[in-house]
Every structure is written in C-alpha cells, then in structure tokens.
Amino acid sequence: MKSKDNAYPCIVTIDEDNGRYTIRKSDSSGEYFNSPKELVAWIMENWHSEDFLDCEEYESMLCEISVYFPLIH
C-alpha cells in the first residue's frame, strides 16, 4: 500500500507456515511480531485509512487480516 508520506510502499506479511509476521512501514523500517494478533493490533493502533493514497486498498487489507483479530469499526 502506498502511503501519503513516502514513496516506499507499506507491506504486511502474515506467513503462518514460516512463523513470519512483519510490517514494512513507509519509511522502509520494519516491525516484527510473534503472532498475527500482535501484528493486527499494531496496525489498528498505528495506521488509518487516511494515511494511504488508496483508502479502499487499506480497507481490503483489513478485511484480509480480520480472520486473525476481530475488527471493530
């Protein structure tokens, strides 16, 4: 997903087969998590649809990860 504040895309990786739960932020730094639940909690606290150029892409990502954590809007 492309954020409004930088050229680098944000990437969310949930790879249960290999135990990889990561986020690449718009400044190209990253976050590593021990579980998908921790990753989703971080997203809910730190990212918002208005942070991204395509709000629908952000909402689509939320739908995809909703199986890991109940989302409340």
Q: Is 70 exceeded by the pLDDT of residue 72?
A: no
Characterise 28 by phi-psi region: left (phi > 0), alpha (psi -120 to 50), beta (else): left
Residue 3 lies in a domain: no
pTM confidence score: 0.85
The tens digit of pLDDT for each residue in 26-70 reads 999 999 999 999 999 999 999 999 999 999 999 999 999 988 876
Q: Is 33 exposed, middle or buried (0-12, 13-18, 19+ CB in 10 A)?
A: middle
**Number of domains comprising the chain:** 1
Q: Which domain holds residue 58?
A: 11-67
pLDDT at 70: 60
9-21 pLDDT tens trace: 999 999 999 999 9
